[in-house]
Chain A
């Protein structure tokens, strides 16, 4: 989005978008990225001396090494044959695998299900630690065999609550010690190896579960993944406003679709050479009455002859008349195709070229609601038309690829409204980026409207149900955030369009919702300043600073207003703050230096300029100002150096030329005076100021005098005086007297 109130994040945001674009492009093109990678399985060789603590890679031997994009793994003994099987889920197809453990004669095992008492211990006994003591007691050191019951681990995975232990050669379990989550330890006897046992807290003895006599119908077989299909429908959960939709009539005249439509409209892109297209047109023609009853308009747009297409628009036209095509028909344009592809790519994560035929369904507001890639089914089109006026929840359900349900809860609606708002922000951002300001404003209007309803709904909901307070509060915050942002975004566009008072209204609405958002006050300050309402502007900057005492820009703006109002002390205070907040910003030092000059504190000012130049040796302001101060102190060499550097860095700096020329024309040291150069520089300065600056003309006059051209000096000085209306300056006239008497002007001698 071009909107970015939070400028601290502007750069990462740009990077994020770039990164996302690269990422989206990558898989939009169907590329693999660390794809086809096989799962791994490592055997723990236990205390084998040769292994020396090192696992053995048995990935291929395990048969778990499918080249899937695997994600989650969950363990259980699915077939209850005494060893662990694996459920795995994948990103790609097949998306699920039950991998049955086929090891025929593995070691002994025991399987335990814990039952907590439900008061001191959760009923599932999650967090309980179990230790198996197997074999004969006292027959030497045997390693402990422990496990903890966990709920959730791996990645997005939860294993069975049946704790599975391999026992190796041990066929006997002496006892099992359970440390219940509260810390209580309990020893269980009667745990039978190679069986499933239930250990109930407080029982002391295990309950052995008789094996179920299951007649299993499991067979190993490869899964028959479905071939990717070449057609499909992308239904939008949130309809998206379309930019202007261009087309051409059969004479080739360019037209645009109206921005409001009488009826929902289906645009069909087709070509005369495309057989499936012809079939589709025929089907549409046949369904004429049904489509009329459903209240949908159809426009067939032929792509023949566009770009590299070899088709002939005349053929297309002939086909339509032969078909007696009962709907409107026009020609597509290259811009239309590009635009549709762009709209598709914005909405779909997988960005492939649209096939032919391709159709889009627009609602009455000319918003995009569905994209049919490939041939379209009349029935599903009719169903889509029926759903055009749905609520967000209904739209989510209808747009889903497969039937299912939307989470039905008080908060679901809010969650959907949030998603809908985000979607509209996204669309608005696209419009803003392309400078379709009005279309962007429509999106913000819609967001504001969406949440207007939500306000009533929410507030009544909260009063009615005290038990959802926490979540309601969270959602209220979210609502405030979205509403405030929508107002502020609209305000920004109004500001951009020069509708300053509308912009102020929007930002004031935003600030009513989020009264603690410093940036909104900052925007209001700027807007009021634009209307020359300086006092209001200052008050807004006051607020911005109150809510964000580190808001450097607000200090800077306020300082500037104080300066204009002549409140130099207040301005200086703000700039001091600014210097603290932005210690590395040369501009602040340069600005402070100028304020200090105003106050006549030349020594301090000189320090500021030097500091600014320390941070940024190329700060032209500071070079010019320091040069002037140095010249005043008689340090002409250093001054000349600063001026020359300033001119080199910014050949359009009138101040640099002017101040340098002034020194060259009027300084006390004849070695540094140079009437000729002074005249050249002063002329340059005058030109840069369009011959409208009193000061540069004054300098040019002094330069002329220094070059003994008193006639010119008098001429320029008079011109300078003529510009000296609002703030009469005696020295100008005094210098004119000097020139009229054939004298040159000099800085005062030391």
Chain B
């Protein structure tokens, strides 16, 4: 998680009771010393002169000082400021709020494409407003089949010609917008959204860049436009900036022709509706359950929502079944996939409706006996259960852990024929060895290294015992292993026959560990795979089909971060590296293209996949069977339910 808003500025060192007490003792001691200490030689050595030794004055306990945190304090303060648009020096954020409102008004006008001609642009435009054409003369086809067409304006091809037409005044703007919205005239429903991602003041005026997203829904499919505008604003009235000009910077569009309207349709209800647990448990959000359950710990991970899911054929009928993890106080669920496509909740009879705060699960044949066993990472450890004749699961062991486990991934790292488990931990345990509560906040936002330790658990299942051995340190995986790790995936990225490991970390650098015959080396830096950002998810895919696996890391795309982090006055004193890191924190998802020489190129910007919002899982998936891996990204942090409460 990476959340600017969550960071608060470090408190000035305050005197706790304990400190005060100690202080009292200092003074006491001081007086003792002053009696003992004889004054310096102000007189002849035989006679002592009266000056007292100076009393030891109190100095604040230096024990709370944090020399290791380097520039984090500054960063944290900066981040805190970012949250408050009215904070001095960040007028651009305030501007963004006002300009955003203006754009939202424009969005409402666009939703009535038939009335654009008669639309009232008063209070939106200056009298001398002008704009380029908002639709390019032609676009190049990216993809075209019966169902889906995608096209993009190639700005580089002939920029002047494409948008040379110029519109002026309110009526001109109406014309330009009418052209833009022409394809949407017959839409049943329209959606518009603007997102300002750069703000640069230029004298009295302000220049912004923004994405506009227009989606129209028709009887026979969907049309979506993604366009990028350069806008100039007259900011003389800061509460309502006026548009001076608009220039088209980019456009991409996708059109489906499909009876269902979109490529995917939600069939959940028909699959699950026969199960009481579907209605009782899955039609309510986690906020609802949180208000009815005791907050067990101080930790944020308890509130994130961690409904991990795993697929596997647990009863050997050739159909993949679904295991769903649930948080504290809610039972995990096993849904058996039936012939008719529906699924039956059998968690009670299979003995796996565990109430513990669960995060992720794996269905794998962990004991090599030909069926799917179950592993679940929960708050307290990993429970390992064997599949008993495709009828139920039996707990064989619990691998205890005091860390806050997140994702699990299995692979045979030592090629000995059985599956080993890698478990990521976000936070470290609540209390350290000394028993003192451990701070769970990254000390350095852009390079957090006080998170939980991930573990590689070697499969030592024998005839008599289900045993796993923590081999993290001995195989070299304890390097850079205190990060806030959300996700992990194994892959042989260097095509040498063994499984390498990529770990996505929040608050800073990710880890790429190269497997060298069972010993791992952290090569993230030399391989160019550090991706210092807010890693939440990782998926591998050969998206360019060169025979070498590439990496997609879900991160956080923050328009606010982009607006601020790229301005010259952002962290003017910070060193370049730190600044760059901070900028990349907000840059969104990352695509790392395998260079086939052990290294990666960051191609995210060129690939157009950066904009992924607050991303969690991402997955390469060839959704249209054309042989090329597409990308799916799950987004969204917390949606409140202000209307309802317990």
Of A51, A216, A731, the residue contacting B49 (CB under 8 A) is A731
Interface 0/1 of B460-496, CB less than 8 Å to A: 0000111111100000000000000011111110000
Determine whether B626 belongs to the interface, using a CB cutoff of 8 Å to chain A.
yes
How far, in angstroms, from A150 to B419 measured CA to CA in the complex?
11
Contact B368 A70 (CB under 8 A): no
**One of B162-170, B317-325, B569-577 contacting the partner:** B317-325
Interface centre among B272, B615, B630, B634 (most CB of A within 10 A): B634
Inter-subunit contact A622/B54 (CB<8 Å): yes
Are B54 and A653 in touch, CB under 8 angstroms? yes
Which residues does chain B contribute within 8 Å of A468, judged by CB atoms?
Answer: 397
Contact B443–A229 (Cβ < 8 Å): no
Q: Is there contact, CB below 8 Å, between B400 and A471?
A: yes
The 8 Å CB contact of A73, one of B46, B543, B613, B618, is B618
Are A101 and B354 in contact, with the CB atoms below 8 A? no
For chain B residues 254-279, which have a beta carbon within 8 Å of chain A?
A: 254-256, 258-272, 277, 279
Question: Could you tell me the distance in whole angstroms from the C-beta of A686 to the nearest C-beta in chain B?
Answer: 11
- Let me know if B10 and A158 touch, CB within 8 A: no
Residue of A nearest to B258 (CB): A102
Bound complex: CA of A655 vs CA of B608, how far in Å?
Answer: 71
- Expressed in whole angstroms, the Cα–Cα distance for A411 and B66 within the complex equals 38
Q: How far is the CA of A623 from the CA of B54 in the complex (A)?
A: 8
Would you call B412 an interface residue if the criterion is a C-beta within 8 Å of the partner chain's C-beta atoms? Answer: yes
Task: Please report the C-alpha to C-alpha distance between residue A352 and residue B59 in the assembled complex, in whole angstroms.
Answer: 43
Q: Does B128 contact A (CB under 8 A)?
A: no
Selected from A10, A95, A170, the residue in CB contact (under 8 A) with B16 is A10
The answer to whether A734 and B617 touch across the interface, beta carbons within 8 angstroms, is: no
Q: Which of A69, A94, A229, A410 contacts B646 (CB 8 A)?
A: A229
The stretch that binds A, out of B137-145, B178-186, B522-530, is B137-145
- Is residue B152 within 8 Å, beta carbon to beta carbon, of the partner chain? yes
B407 touching A628, Cβ below 8 Å: no
Chain B contacts for A323, CB-based, 8 A: none
Provide the residues of chain A in CB contact with B632, threshold 8 Å. Answer: 39-41, 62, 64, 73, 86
B640 touches A156 (CB 8 A): no
Judge whether A653 and B57 touch: CB under 8 Å: yes
Please name all residues of chain A whose beta carbon is closer than 8 Å to the beta carbon of B441 when the two chains form the complex.
Answer: 12, 15-16, 19
Cα A481 to Cα B310 in complex, Å, equals 35
- Candidates B50, B56, B311, B415; contact of A621 at CB < 8 Å: B56
Chain A residues within an 8 Å CB radius of B49? 662, 666, 731, 747
Interface residues of A in 9-65 (CB under 8 A from B): 9-20, 22-24, 26-27, 29-48, 50-64
Encode B382-402 as 1/0 by CB contact (under 8 A) with A. 010000000000010111101
Q: Interface size (B, Cβ < 8 Å)?
A: 253
Question: Are the CB atoms of A9 and B436 closer together than 8 Å?
Answer: yes
Pairwise interchain contact A348-B294, C-beta atoms closer than 8 A: yes
Bound complex: CA of A564 vs CA of B263, how far in Å? 83
Q: State whether A597 touches B38 (Cβ < 8 A).
A: yes
Contact stretch, chosen from B118-126, B531-539, B579-587 = B531-539
| Interface assignment of B305: CB less than 8 Å from any CB of chain A | yes
Q: Are B312 and A158 in contact (CB under 8 A)?
A: yes
Residue A742 at the chain B interface, CB threshold 8 Å: no
Contact partner of A72 (CB less than 8 A), chosen from B21, B57, B308, B626, is B308
Contacts A15-B441, A58-B254, A228-B643 known; A5 to B435 CB distance under 8 Å? yes
CB atoms of A74 and B309 under 8 A apart? yes
Q: A157-B617, A602-B40, A731-B48 are in contact. Are A471 and B397 (CB under 8 A)?
A: yes
- How far, in whole Å, are A693 and B141 apart by their CA atoms in the complex? 95
Structural contact, A655 and B34, CB atoms closer than 8 A: yes
Contacts of A622 in B (CB 8 A): 54
B89 contacts partner chain A, Cβ-Cβ < 8 Å: no
- Asked if B363 is at the interface of the complex by the 8 Å CB criterion, the answer is yes
Stretch of B94-102, B105-113, B231-239, B545-553 contacting A (4+ beta carbons < 8 Å): B545-553
CA distance A477 to B616 in the complex (A): 35
Known A-B contacts A72-B617, A621-B54, A696-B50; A78 and B320 likewise in contact (beta carbons under 8 Å): yes
The answer to whether B407 touches A152 (Cβ under 8 A) is yes
Known contacts A46-B626, A124-B365, A155-B487, A426 near B415 by CB under 8 Å: no
Complex alpha-carbon distance, A68 and B353, angstroms: 25
Beta-carbon contact of A153 and B431 below 8 Å = no
Contact (Cβ within 8 A) B635 A37: yes
Decide yes or no whether A684 CB sits under 8 A from chain B: no
Our pick among A144, A227, A399, A594 for the contact of B546 (Cβ within 8 Å) is A144
Are A73 and B619 within 8 A (Cβ)? yes
Residues of chain A from 347 to 403 with CB closer than 8 A to chain B in the complex: 347-350, 352, 373-374, 396-397, 399-403
Partner pick for B309 among A6, A72, A621, A625, CB 8 A cutoff: A72
Query: What sequence of 0s and 1s flags, for each residue 633-661 of chain A, a beta carbon within 8 Å of any chain B beta carbon?
Result: 00000000000001000100111101100
Report the bound CA distance from A10 to B418 in whole Å.
45
Q: Nearest Cβ distance between residue B619 and chain A, in whole angstroms? A: 5
Q: Do A658 and B411 touch across chains, with their CB atoms under 8 A apart?
A: no
Q: Given A63-B264, A120-B417, answer yes or no on A34-B638 (Cβ-Cβ < 8 Å).
A: yes
Query: Once bound together, how far apart are the Cα atoms of A90 and B43, in whole Å?
Result: 82
Task: Decide: B417 and A118 in contact? CB cutoff 8 A.
Answer: yes
Complex Cα distance, B535 from A154, in Å, reads 11
Smallest distance from the beta carbon of B580 to chain A beta carbons, Å? Answer: 23
A616 CA to B65 CA, complexed, in Å: 15
B542 within 8 A of A: yes
Contacts of A221 in B (CB 8 A): 266-267, 269-270
Assembled-state Cα–Cα distance A165/B252 (Å): 27
Report A63 CB to chain B, min CB distance, Å.
Answer: 3
Residue pairs across A and B with Cβ atoms less than 8 A apart, 11 shown, are A34-B636, A42-B608, A44-B629, A69-B305, A73-B634, A90-B305, A95-B307, A104-B258, A145-B545, A602-B40, A632-B41
